[in-house]
């Protein structure tokens, strides 16, 4: 095993529970190989998930993908960052591209697409994409995550359905007067 792998595994093992140790291990790994996509991805995740510095995170993810377009570990985190940063068009373009890459976990990408549609309040489209995610899923553990996203979207649809009758009641009261 290479030294960089040792430090990368330490960083992954410490993340997200000990950020100080994660950063220390990442810095060592980065000093051995500044073009390691896993290292860059984890730096990006820290920026996005803990520091909410989405622009900085995006630069780490972009650098990783510039080094290796097949750095599959980057896509889900980069997409989540784009969605949180409200870079919806950029996220859609990345999704479209990612779905063309041989070997990528398409189920994960379809879930990110559903989340993108969800934040844009396109719930019916999001539920259709969830079906695609289920069709491409080959990991039982990930099925729970898909179901959680589906349930959240359905709950939002139900929430909107509950609001609409109230408006209709108000409209019918106005008409009866």
Residues near 65 by beta carbon (within 8 Å), at least 6 away in sequence:
37, 71, 74, 78
- Same structural domain for residues 85 and 54? yes
Burial class (CB in 10 A: 0-12, 13-18, 19+), 170: exposed
Give the global pTM: 0.89
Which of the residues in the chain have pLDDT under 50? none
- Same structural domain for residues 69 and 113? no
- Same structural domain for residues 50 and 31? yes
- Containing structural domain, residue 137: 105-177
pLDDT of residue 41: 98
Residue at which a domain ends, from 60, 81, 99: 99
- Same structural domain for residues 128 and 57? no
């Amino acid at each position: 095993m290479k030294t960089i792998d040792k430090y990368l595994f330490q960083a992954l093992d410490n993340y997200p529970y000990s950020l100080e140790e994660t950063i220390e291990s990442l810095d060592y790994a980065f000093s051995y190989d500044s073009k390691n996509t896993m290292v860059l991805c984890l730096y990006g995740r820290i920026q996005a998930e803990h520091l909410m510095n989405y622009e900085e995170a995006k630069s780490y993810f972009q650098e990783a993908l510039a080094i290796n377009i097949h750095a599959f570990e980057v896509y889900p985190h980069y997409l989540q960052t784009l969605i949180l940063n409200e870079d919806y068009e950029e996220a859609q373009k990345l999704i479209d591209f990612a779905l063309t890459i041989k070997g990528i976990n398409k189920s994960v990408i379809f879930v990110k697409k559903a989340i993108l549609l969800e934040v844009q309040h396109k719930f019916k489209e999001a539920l259709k994409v969830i079906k695609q995610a289920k069709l491409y899923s080959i990991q039982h553990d990930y099925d729970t995550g898909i179901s959680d996203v589906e349930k959240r979207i359905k709950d939002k649809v139900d929430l909107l359905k509950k609001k609409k009758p109230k408006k209709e009641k108000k409209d019918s009261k106005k008409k009866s007067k």
